[in-house]
Amino acid sequence: MTNLLGHLLLGTALALAGVIPPGLLNMNAAKITMRDGRIRGLVFAIGASLVVSVQASVGLFFAKFLSRKTDVVLYLERFGLLIFVLLSVYFIVQAFRRPKMDMNKKRSKRNLFWYGVILSALNVFPIPFYAFVSVYFASEYWFTFEKPYTIGFVVGTSLGTFLMLYLYTYFAGRITLTSDKFVKRMNLSIGLITALIAFFTLYKVLQNL
């Protein structure tokens, strides 16, 4: 996958997967849409998505440096194993918790844009996430750290985040009305997926011992 389109699609797919689970950004996008309308929900989504591109860039910066050190990559794989195990536990536990959809006072479009920027910036998880996955895919020859391709990847992460937040704004009513079942099934599914990834990562780590 050493082409610009491939890197764009990879970044988009990873961002889509990362924003699928109900969390701070997507549930706020749904809440704002229900309260203020879809346009304001999309303004919030734009602000949040732009920050993700910056976070992905920072993650790739560290990943490029670390990828040159073979011993560090091995430690990253072990760290990634721990991350996926923790994520599995987190999502399975969250599957049995109910999200709070409190309705606050109406905000202006400008305020909602910066609200999206701030909330997205507070979520620093995308930085180590994109650092790890880029190193992993580079080791599998699906990713290269050459500048044109990293730009495509970063654009893809922003695009994927926006697309998933858009889906949350589009289905805001259904998500809110069926939030219990939706959140439980989604978190449980993501927990099982991350557990499966953790299993394959463990297999790879054991092979390198």
* Contact (CB, 8 A) for 64 and 145: yes
pLDDT of residue 176: 56
Confidence check: pLDDT of 38 > 50? yes
Which pLDDT band, with edges at 50, 70 and 90, does 152 fall under?
A: very high
In this predicted model, what pLDDT tens digit does every residue of 154-195 receive, in sequence order?
999 999 999 999 998 888 766 655 556 666 666 676 677 667
- What are the structure tokens assigned to 98, written together? 């109910």
Amino acid in the structure at residue 19? V
User: Which range of residues forms the domain containing residue 149?
Assistant: 4-208
- Average confidence (pLDDT) over 99-125: 72
pLDDT at position 1 is 47
Q: If you average pLDDT over residues 72-97, what whole number do you get?
A: 69
**What's the token pair of residue 157?**
């992460």
Predicted TM-score of the model (pTM): 0.70
Ordered alpha helix ranges (H), 67-125: 70-94, 109-122
Give the chain's domain count. 1
